[in-house]
Every structure is written in structure tokens, then in C-alpha cells.
Amino acid sequence: MRKCDFTSGKWVFDQSYPLYDSSCPYLSTAVTCTKNGRPDSDYEKWRWKPHGCEIPRFNALEFLGKMRKKRIMLVGDSIMRNQWESLVCLIQSVIPMARKTVTYVGPTMAFHAMDFETTIEFCWAPFLVELKKGPENKRILHLDMIEENAKYWRGADVLVFDSAHWWTHSDKYSSWDLIMEGNSFYRNMNPMVAYEKGLMTWAKWIDLNLDPRKTRVFFRSMSPRHNRENGWKCFNQREPLEFFSHPHVPEPLLVLKEVLRGMSFPVSFQDITTLTALRRDGHPSVYSKFVSQTGKQHLGDYKSDCSHWCLPGVPDTWNEMLNVML
């Protein structure tokens, strides 16, 4: 497996998937596309097959055995929450009802598998650095402040990060009103410059505060959206693309790789961008809430979610990869 390049391969249809079904009690409504009225379910049955090797099928008991007495924390935005729900659903079915529970503390939620003393947590921190309310309710993004979020990460055995979507929201949906660095305020800063500065603050915190003998750190690359108008709208897409004629490398990916390269802490980079970009069929689209029979006549009026992922679905593959990397 060490020689295996997970990033190049193809999606193969596999009847033995999915690994759980949409009745998993830990799924949020927005990702249970079948329950919300999506008529097809083939998107649940594609397995990623790298060229020249296989990603082993996820085995819940094996995973829990390996993670016994450990805290796993996934940190980031709603796409990371998508991945957390997937991971919890992948393991929860082997745990008796009375031996699992979910607790909430501040921006975190934690699934506990009691008999294994394992917790799988999600920590909401879409920028990793701090976004705070300032005077006149202005949202201020502090590029050099992180401790308010990072205090929750201490003591975890495995940390998995992502951060990209909130940095690249278009002007209309900008995620902040002002950017602050040191004592300076900025109204307009190139989002990629801001992203790099934010990541540098994160990298410095990891380098100074964590011990690689005690904590494994992963950074998952950005999950592509498929909401461009020119044929990429994800509504009614029923199967993956086979390949790209021009593979597109998103700018945040280049910035991220550059920052990781400069770190002294050995962060494992999990690149899911290309394989996920092929899956335009895997998004909730209009099925992020329940669509009734009458609603089905007016699907054009629904907002289409082409960023998040239906579950079971694509994030299960990210977790199968993560399991191998662990």
C-alpha cells in the first residue's frame, strides 16, 4: 500500500456497496438524499479503484480495535462534518445501542464507542483561525489568532483538518466583513493571500504545540463543487465522469501544499480533490430536504446543493483512504 498512488484511478460500480444505509441515526437530514426523495441510488455503489492496487473495504471492528482508547477529531467546515457523519455511520452498526452516545461541547460534537473507549469528534472551525463578531456586528477574520479553536484540539490522538470553502465564497456570499492581522484592518485582501496567512498561523500552532510521537495529523484537500453553469450543475447527474481531458488544479491546493512543505511537523496530506471531482453525481442537489410528489413537478424552483455529499456516498471513500493511511 505504501507504493500505491490513491489519487489516480477510476470509479467502479460495486453491488456490494454501500457499507451502511441511510437509516443510520447520525445522518443529518440534508445528506439523506434517498429519504429526501432522490429517485436513484446508484451514487451509493461506486468504489474508488486506484491503478495498481485496491483500497481495502472498511472494517468497523478492525478500525475500532486499532483506535482503542483514542480520540479522533475531524476539524473544519460542513464538508468535514459530512465526513464525520460518514465515519460515525461506518462504525456505529457494530456497537450495541446502549454502548454509544453523542455529546456536545462548545463547537464540538463527539461520538463515543464506550467499550472501545474511542471517541470520534467533529470541531467546527471553517477557517481554522478565528472569526469573531466586532463592533456594529461586523464579522472580523483574525488571520493570526487560533487558540480559541485550537484549545479543543489538544489531547487528540488523530487530527484531520480541512479548510478551503469559506475562503473562496464569492463576493456576494463573503464569509467576513473585515480581515485583521496584528493591529491592521483590511477590507479587501486577495482571498488566496488571506488563505495562506491563515494556514501559516495553523502550521505554526501545530509545529509548536503537538508532538508527532503522540499525535497523527492529516490535512484533507478540498472537496470540489460542481455548481458551475456550463454543464456542471449536479442536478440529475447519474454517474461519475470517467476522466478529465484537462485536470484542473484548484489554487487553494497549491497554497496548501506550499504551507505543508514548510512545516517541521510531519503532516500526512490526504489528496481527495481529483477523485472527488469525477463524482458530479454524488451531491444532494435539490434533495437536501424532503421533496414531495407535488414538489417533484417543480424541481426547477429548488436550490441545488452541489457542494455537500449524499450519504452513504463519496465521503465513505475518503474514510476508507484515511483508514489505510492510519
Q: Is 308 a catalytic residue?
A: yes
d(CA 37, CA 23): 14
d(CA 220, CA 228): 23
For 43-179, where are the alpha helices, taking DSSP H only? 60-66, 78-92, 147-150
Whether the CA torsion 201, 204, 209, 212 is positive or negative: it is positive
Q: Are 149 and 76 in contact (CB under 8 A)?
A: no
For the chain, where are the alpha helices, taking DSSP H only? 60-66, 78-92, 147-150, 191-209, 251-261, 273-277, 314-325
Q: Are 284 and 311 in contact (CB under 8 A)?
A: no
- Which of 77, 281, 308, 316 is catalytic? The answer is 308
Which SS3 state, helix, strand or coil, does residue 136 take? helix
Which SS3 state, helix, strand or coil, does residue 166 take? helix
- Which of 77, 162, 271, 305 is catalytic? The answer is 305
At residue 108, φ and ψ (nearest 5 deg) are -115, 150
- Which of 21, 41, 78, 175 is catalytic? The answer is 78
Which residue, 174, 274, 153, 173, is CA-closest to 222? 274
d(CA 156, CA 263): 20
d(CA 55, CA 62): 15
The H or E element that residue 180 is part of is: strand 178-181
Rounded to 10 degrees, what is the CA torsion of 10, 13, 14, 20? 90
Q: Which residues have a catalytic role annotated? A: 78, 305, 308
